Amino acid sequence: MSISGELPGEGSDGEEEVFIDEEDIIHEITIDEEDLPDRDEEDDDVGDGIGRGGFCLELQLSVYAKFSLSAPPFFCQLASQIVLEEIEKPADDDVLSCSITFHDLHLSHQQCFIMQSNGYFRFQLIQKTSLMILRTHFLATKASCYTRNPTDASLVASGGKDDRGFLWRIGSDEGALELTGHKDTVGTVAFSSDGNLLACGSFDGQINVWNTAARALKGTLEGSGSGFEWLKWHPRGHLIIAGSEDCNVWMWNADHNAIINTFVGHSNTVTCGDFTPDGKLICTGSDDASLRIWDPRSAQSRHVIRDFIEFSMECVFVEHIFELVDGHGYHTDGLTCLSMTLDSQTVVSGSKDSSVHAVNVNSGQIVGSLVGHTTSIECVGISSSYGWVATGSMDQKLIIWDLTHQSSRCTCEHDEGVTSLAWLGSSRYVASGCIDGKVRIWDSLSGDCAREFSGHADVVQSMAITADGNAMVSVSSDGSARVFDISMFK
């Protein structure tokens, strides 16, 4: 970044322009002193920033101002965290000079830098930390989930503990659509495979389905009234499955707002699940420490995998449950997460007991155990290109595994527990979210940290990659969603 122009008092009338390299210019604003808002007005404006985007930068500000000013006039919309420090009068000079570094400075699209006529400001860009911040959920509550549209790279949605969801567009000044109607935390959101519908699941026992083009509520899906832990769409249709606190899995036709099947068999909350990528089967995990593989048409369990032998009480069919097959046991505590290979052949699950196991979907046989973590597994993801598995745990480790050989390739150490992960498309890079609020990009070949993004003030709850692979969105317990540029890792 380059700056040209003379300082006030050096052959100028104090109204010199600040010139910045063209690629660094976001927006230029000229404003008179009487137009500057009071502090209270600034705070009010910040609180009304629903749906507004911005640029999050780390800047070093060098301020030169005539001593007649009580303090350097610097204003930035949507940046209430900035407080001007008082600067004492220099001993032998009538010009104030100081240098302040602002970390995580949030600049809106419309209003960025403001220069008053009798002050001169020099900005040095240190690092762009995120492309955009969306502060939709009340800061006293928590953003809990995020999803991206599979066909529209800029359309994303989030849900939070303020009982609301938001549908918003990256890089747009268009206001976010507030997804209302729930009476409890919106803990899960997901777009249909064609991107036309958005489902928001809540702990109030309802799933609201929204038409993304019309930006309107299409219908409400209900189960037993117990809260929903997660929901997933069929990979090629408008069928929704959701796991509930009532120990069941529910399936609806979203086009007709009708229940199709209820999957009964788990004995505790169904904590994770999904359709296989080919859409032919359903895999679900529960706090009862079991994995079930279901036939979506009959709603019957094809396989039940847990750490002991059991037969169906009615003796109508035998559940295929494996214990210590080929030396592999299974989880002894509740399942927390699962992921499936693209060929729909293998499901990998993680548990509170720190174990990770791989199961053949067709046979129900445990085909591998990945040993290395020491505390609860919080997330698992399978690379679409390399056949590798990434697991994140509260033991502060992200481990990359070779699933074929059941061996660890590398361990990525964190300062605190790992809460979420996402592979960056078909690349070798994987992103991790952490309790410390940081998002890190890791090279799965070397285990090196390729990039670290800061900005969140609390736990990173969820994250995903946009359809074009150029951006990553993370949501945090601090109530915000952040957009990071990851185009260099494609």
Return the exposure string of 118-156: e unless at least 16 CB atoms fall within 10 Å of the residue's CB, then b. bbbbbbeeeeebbbbbbbbbeeebbbbbbbbbbebbbbb
Please report the pLDDT score of residue 307 as a whole number: 84
Please report the pLDDT score of residue 146 as a whole number: 62
Please state which of the four CATH numbers 3.30.70.270, 2.130.10.10, 3.30.2130.10, 3.30.56.10 is assigned to the domain occupying 137-489. 2.130.10.10
Please report the pLDDT score of residue 381 as a whole number: 98
Q: What tokens appear for 317 in the block?
A: 């069919």
Please report the pLDDT score of residue 313 as a whole number: 37
Please report the pLDDT score of residue 371 as a whole number: 95
Please report the pLDDT score of residue 477 as a whole number: 85
Nearest-angstrom CA–CA distance, 139 and 480: 8
Q: How much is the CA Rg of the chain, to the nearest whole Å? A: 26
Please report the pLDDT score of residue 428 as a whole number: 96
Q: What tokens appear for 232 in the block?
A: 């997933």
Nearest-angstrom CA–CA distance, 355 and 366: 13
Please report the pLDDT score of residue 308 as a whole number: 60
Classify residue 316 by its DSSP letter: S
Please report the pLDDT score of residue 101 as a whole number: 42
Nearest-angstrom CA–CA distance, 331 and 328: 10
Sign (positive/negative) of CA torsion 243, 185, 50, 472?
negative
Instruction: Sketch the domain layout of the chain as residue ranges.
Output: 22-130, 137-489
Distance of CA 253 to the CA centre of its chain: 27
pLDDT tens digits in sequence order for the chain, 490 residues long: 333 333 333 344 443 333 334 343 333 333 333 433 343 333 333 333 333 333 343 343 333 333 233 333 333 332 333 333 333 444 444 433 334 444 444 433 333 333 233 333 333 333 444 554 554 443 333 445 667 888 888 898 888 888 888 898 887 767 788 899 999 999 999 999 999 999 999 999 999 999 999 999 999 999 999 999 999 999 999 999 999 999 999 999 999 999 999 999 999 999 999 999 999 999 999 999 999 999 999 999 999 999 864 433 343 333 444 443 444 689 999 999 999 999 999 999 999 999 999 999 999 999 999 999 999 999 999 999 888 999 999 999 999 999 999 999 999 999 999 999 999 999 999 999 999 999 999 999 999 999 999 888 899 999 889 889 998 988 888 877 888 889 999 8
Instruction: Note if the pTM is more than 0.75.
Output: no
State which H helix or E strand residue 97 sits in: strand 95-108
